[in-house]
Amino acid sequence: YEKIMEKKMSTPLEVLCQHFPGEFVTYFKYCRSLRFEDRPDYAFLRKLFKDAFFREGHVYDFVFDWTTWGSHQSGPAGAGTAARPIEEQRGGPVEHVEEAGT
């Protein structure tokens, strides 16, 4: 476990995040710069990822992976499904939710 930790700590953030938007490098550098007693600037962090989200062409449609998991909706998430009633988006009212792995 010690070697795994050393490898993870020695991997440059630019390599770790090479296929992700640059905001991830900014985020990790910011987190690493915080001291234990520092309070994170949550407004800055939300704006950081919100800007990346819209720049990448995503649509904030209130459909999340965990609300569509296991359903067979037509169309990809982020395709403007918020214009439809929530019951229609999910295939009807949710009556029972099973825990993952059951």
Domain residues of the chain, as ranges? 2-55, 59-90
* pLDDT given for residue 20 in this prediction: 94
| Residue keyed to tokens 């009633």 | 85
For 37, other C-beta atoms within 10 Å of its C-beta total 5
pLDDT confidence of residue 28: 93
- pLDDT above 90 coverage of the chain, percent: 45
Q: Give me the residues of the chain with pLDDT under 70, please.
A: 71-102
Q: What was the pLDDT predicted at 26?
A: 96
Distance in angstroms (rounded) separating the CA atoms of residues 22 and 48: 10
Of 94, 44, 102, residue with least CA distance to 71: 94
DSSP string for residues in 65-87 = HHHHTT---SS-TTSSGGGS-HH
| DSSP state letter for 26 | H
Instruction: Give the pLDDT score at 76.
Output: 52
